[in-house]
């Protein structure tokens, strides 16, 4: 390989490295706010896709219309949070506390909702929930289900 070709390859490697460094430095952190607009947590990434929010206090968090695909909400405290219109595709949510949360039109495609507490949550028009509830023992005491009916059996798990 000639010196000219080596110089060209060296330039490409430096260009690619500087480009990726530039992208990392220009990341805008995602601010998660509650429904009153107060900052709850700053997540240092451009998006919440594949974010790890395991065991975080997300009480009354505003996740409306967000892409939360592959998010980890295991043991997260999401009481009163608003997930309306959010995409929870392949989300990992075991043992999340989602009491009194709002899920209008939320897409649960492929989500793991093992033992999630949806007590008194509003799940009207939620999508793909029936596909993920089977065998996951999630709780729905007093929750409004996707069809608009209220789940009234205390202690009943799906």
Structure tokens at 143: 């929750």
Q: Mean pLDDT, to the nearest integer, of 21-37?
A: 75
Amino acid 157: pLDDT: 54
Average pLDDT rounded to a whole number, residues 84-107: 98
Window from 25-29, 40-44, 118-122 with minimum mean pLDDT: 25-29
State the average pLDDT for the chain: 85
Whether 86 shows a pLDDT value over 90: the answer reads: yes
How much is the pLDDT for 26?
A: 56
Domain range annotation of the chain: 30-158
How many Cα atoms sit within 13 Å of 134 on the Cβ side?
Answer: 5
Q: Which conformational region is residue 84 in: left (phi greater than 0), alpha (psi within -120 to 50 degrees), or beta?
A: beta
What beta strand segments (E) does the chain contain?
30-33, 39-43
67, 78, 97, 106, 110 from 52: Cα distances, Å? 14, 14, 16, 19, 17
For residue 20, the model assigns a pLDDT of 39
CA distance linking residue 33 with residue 17, whole number of Å: 34
Torsion of CA 67, 72, 74, 80, to 10 degrees: -20
Whether 149 shows a pLDDT value over 70: the answer reads yes
Q: Which residue has the higher pLDDT, 131 or 33?
A: 33
pLDDT at 8: 40
d(CA 83, CA 86): 5
Q: Which residue has the higher pLDDT, 78 or 5?
A: 78
What is the band of 131 on the pLDDT scale with cuts at 50, 70, 90? confident
Distances (CA, A) of 106 to 65, 85, 114: 8, 5, 17
More confident call, 154 vs 116: 116
Residue 133 has pLDDT above 80, yes or no: no
CATH numeric code, 30-158? 2.160.20.80
């Amino acid at each position: 390989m000639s010196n000219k070709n080596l110089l060209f390859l060296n330039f490409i490697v430096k260009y690619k490295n500087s480009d990726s460094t530039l992208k990392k430095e220009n990341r805008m952190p995602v601010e998660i706010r509650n429904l009153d607009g107060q900052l709850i947590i700053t997540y240092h990434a451009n998006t919440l896709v594949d974010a790890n929010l395991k065991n975080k206090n997300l009480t009354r968090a505003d996740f409306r219309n967000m892409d939360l695909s592959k998010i980890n909400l295991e043991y997260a405290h999401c009481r009163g949070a608003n997930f309306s219109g959010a995409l929870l595709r392949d989300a990992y949510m075991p043992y999340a506390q989602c009491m009194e949360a709002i899920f209008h039109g939320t897409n649960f495609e492929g989500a793991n909702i093992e033992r999630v507490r949806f007590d008194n949550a509003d799940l009207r028009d939620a999508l793909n929930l029936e596909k993920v509830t089977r065998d996951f023992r999630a709780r729905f005491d007093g929750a409004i289900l996707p069809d608009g009916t209220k789940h009234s059996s205390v202690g009943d798990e799906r």
